[in-house]
Chains A and B, each alone.
Chain A
Amino acid sequence: MRLAGRSTRLGDGDGRAGRMLRAGLSLWLGVLVLLAVFAAYLDPHLALDLANRFWSCF
């Protein structure tokens, strides 16, 4: 068992570079998702088309 205080530290055992990389990737993904949703407000058809193209890749 671990103490709750300790377990809340993100990235224990990882290097600083690894943590920064994960944070950067998460931020980048978050921004992409937000912009995609924003685009869906401005042009719902474009958003649907993009979603269909995305799923057709699988």
Chain B
Amino acid sequence: MDVSTDGAPRLSLARVMLCGAVILTMSMGIRHGFGLWLQPMTMDRGWTRDTFAFAMAAQNLAWGIAGPLAGAVADRFGAYRVMMVGALAYAGGLFGMALATSGTGLALTAGLMIGVAQAGTTYAVVYGIIGRNLPAERRSWAMGVAGAAGSFGQFLMVPVENALIGTLGWQGALQVLAVLALLIMPLALFLRESPQALKPPGGATQSIGGAVREAFGNRSYRFLTAGYFVCGFQVVFIGVHLPSYLKDHGMSATVATTALALVGLFNVVGTYAAGSLGQRFPKRYILSAIYGLRSVVIIGFLLLPLSPGSVYVFSALMGLLWLSTVPPTNAVIAQIFGVQYMSMLSGFAFLSHQLGSFLGAWLGGALYEASGNYDVVWMLAIALGFFAAAINLPVRETPIVRPHLRPA
């Protein structure tokens, strides 16, 4: 363990990056391929697709709602404890999913348990450790690396899970994944921070309620949070509905699969690049560019004649812009508010992201049913992208001044 300039013991860069990246690879990756279980589970259990879809929607909402709570506990009592509980919930949720025989059981395990587990093992909690243990001049880069690891997990686990289901059956595959999720526990132990590291530099403490009031009273935080909502909306709408859109326009299933693979591949590059760029340039410009470019890319995709080539170019470009918002958004939060309540504040921003995700998935289907096509939702995605690009520009990245706080 190293010692920072304020005297508090800090974890080393190698330890934080290696353990954080592997944890994110697993936690982001495992649940990403859940769509592969839709057909075998519903056929085996005699469920409708609604039953499965409801559990997945509940998972996303539980992830968002549990995020601020998990973040607050991590900030106050140590992230490793939250990750240990999260890993147990992840494994329990996966075992439970394998054994669930009713829709309620599925919603409680695959939905609620895994959603809560996600909140305890993904970005907000890991980024809190990065924020507290790495110097500000490496933070955005480190968040980019960790974010890229999460993106890589999403990219990696789909074919791995496909192979597991093919060789072990859907229940056996879930049990293997449950054991894999338990591996987060020993890794979390390596990220155990000293109690001094959880205290802010200088000893000026702030209450949780004070931190929440301060953040939501801050215009820049509200803008970042609103932008994150748009991120969730666009990403989930495209991820969920693009294959159907392509099918509606006569594209083969192979084109849709390749498109999603390209999104996954370029997402790894884009997430890393955004983090690295955030170390050199103002992050508000990076975020604004990402949201604005998403809209430009969507416009180009819709205006150009649809072909496999145009789909692949669109997918690669969208992949570059996919989760690339995550490192700069979190790095700005750390920059403005410091790292004492970083996981909790990231959790609140992520709750907004998840509400956007929910709406993107749901509105995509609802408006399609109402109008017979995706035109309205594409327009909404474009307009929201420009809106997010505009509101990120006035974000002030300077640290907040707290004259009322005195050292404890």
Task: Identify the A interface with B (CB < 8 A).
Answer: 1-5, 7-8, 10, 34, 37-38, 40-42, 44, 47-48
Contact = CB atoms under 8 A, between A and B. Distances in A.
Given A2-B3, A4-B4, A44 B159 contact: yes
Given A5-B4, A7-B2, 17 more contacts: A1-B3, A2-B3, A3-B3, A5-B5, A5-B135, A7-B13, A34-B152, A34-B155, A37-B155, A37-B156, A37-B264, A40-B159, A41-B260, A41-B264, A42-B257, A47-B159, A48-B163
Interface in B128-168: 133-135, 138, 152, 155-156, 158-160, 162-163, 166
Given A34-B268, A42-B258, A44-B163, A3 B4 contact: yes
Contacts of A2: 2-3
Given A3-B5, A8-B134, A41 B13 contact: no
Task: Output the residue of A4, A37, A40 with the most chain B CB within 10 A.
Answer: A4
Contact of A34 (B138, B166, B260, B265): B265
Contacts of B5: 3-5
Nearest to A1: B3
A4 B262 CA distance: 38
Classify the interface of chain A: helix, strand, loop or mixed. helix
Given A34-B268, A38-B261, A41-B261, A4 B155 contact: no
B257 A41 contact: yes
B10 interface: yes
Interface string B241-280: 0000000000000000110111011001000000000000
B42 interface: no
Contacts of B134: 4, 8
Contacts of A34: 152, 155, 265, 268
Contacts of B4: 3-5
Interface residues of B, number: 29
A54 to B, nearest CB: 14
B318 to A, nearest CB: 16
Contacts of B13: 7-8, 10
Q: State the 3 A-B residue pairs at the shortest beta-carbon distance, nearest first.
A: A40-B159, A41-B261, A8-B13
A3 to B, nearest CB: 6
A1 B2 contact: yes
9 contacts: A1-B1, A4-B2, A8-B12, A8-B135, A34-B155, A41-B260, A41-B261, A41-B264, A44-B163
Contacts of B159: 37, 40-41, 44, 47
Interface in B1-52: 1-5, 10, 12-13
Task: Output the residue of A37, A38, A42, A47 with the most chain B CB within 10 A.
Answer: A37
B1 to A, nearest CB: 8
A3 B163 CA distance: 46
A44 to B, nearest CB: 6
A5 B264 CA distance: 34
Contacts of B262: 38
B244 to A, nearest CB: 18
A31 to B, nearest CB: 10
A3 B2 CA distance: 6
A4 B135 contact: yes
Interface in B376-394: none
B10 A4 contact: yes
A44 B152 CA distance: 18
B112 to A, nearest CB: 30
Contacts of A5: 4-5, 135
A30 to B, nearest CB: 8
